[in-house]
Amino acid sequence: MKVFPELQKIRKKTQKSGKVKSRPLVNDMLSMMSTQASSNNLKAFKKYVEADKERFSEISNAIQYKYNIDLNIYNNEANSDSYVKSSPNQIMNNIGMGDMQQMETMYGGAMASHEIWEEMLDNQELLESQYDMIAGKWPSKFNEVVLIVDQNNRISDYTLYSIGLLDPDELTNNYKSLINGGKVENIDEKVYTFNELLNLKFKLVINTDYYIKDGNTWKDMQEDEAFMKNLLNNAQDINVVRNH
């Protein structure tokens, strides 16, 4: 094996000293990252924006504030009386964490992390310039939502699985068949009337609703079937907006 002269010198020096020293590669990387890191004072920035709303409204279409709080939204499973969580989206979790990681690899993470529920912009003029209302009406209450279709009046099967119009077990079975070398069964194209879509209802649960006081602590009841059934039956309704 050919050894370059420089490497020979290093080897001789190391062998002569009888010691091997650590090289701070990772620590150097962390130090470099710390010098490049920065922090945002979002509280002060929000105050700054709101103090001059008129000026900011001239240079922006809409300003939204997002908080790290999940809105837990449930819908009835297809052909079932039980509920399934559609936000945060559970479709990929239902397949299994290992499988979800494979899906992220196949699709660059876009599909596995995709959330079908999104907050509408607080700019009605902008919304009406971007979308055509083909049935129902624009929301006017906090518990009203709209369902978006593409220019050909289509909705992705991923969304249909997520909101309960398609049975998510079909997706699970097809994907598990695929990774086991089996055949993926074709699913017939589905057609829905406007009325069917406008009749969709969901249930909203906030995080604190899952807990009950148990002595001096709060107990998470999400695994209690009877508790969850009662909670969802009495939860806030979320409706796709109709004309009346």
What's the pLDDT at 108?
46
Question: Distance of CA 167 to CAs 158, 159, 160, 171, 211, Å?
Answer: 11, 11, 9, 8, 29
Cα Rg, the chain, nearest whole Å: 27
Number of domains in the chain: 1
Query: What tokens appear for 107 in the block?
Result: 């699709």
What's the pLDDT at 238?
94
Would 133 be classed as within a structural domain?
yes
Would 41 be classed as within a structural domain?
no
**What residue numbers bound the domain in which 185 lies?**
68-240
Would 46 be classed as within a structural domain?
no
Would 185 be classed as within a structural domain?
yes
Would 25 be classed as within a structural domain?
no
Would 117 be classed as within a structural domain?
yes
Measure the CA–CA gap between 44 and 62, rounded to whole angstroms: 19
Would 26 be classed as within a structural domain?
no
CB 136, CB 243: distance < 8 Å: yes
Measure the CA–CA gap between 103 and 111, rounded to whole angstroms: 8
pTM assigned to the model: 0.66
What's the pLDDT at 228?
94
Q: Which own/partner contact pairs does 43-46 have at CB distance under 8 Å and 24+ positions apart?
A: none
Residues of the chain with pLDDT under 70: 1-23, 30, 32-39, 77-81, 92-114, 243-244
Would 14 be classed as within a structural domain?
no
Measure the CA–CA gap between 20 and 3, rounded to whole angstroms: 20
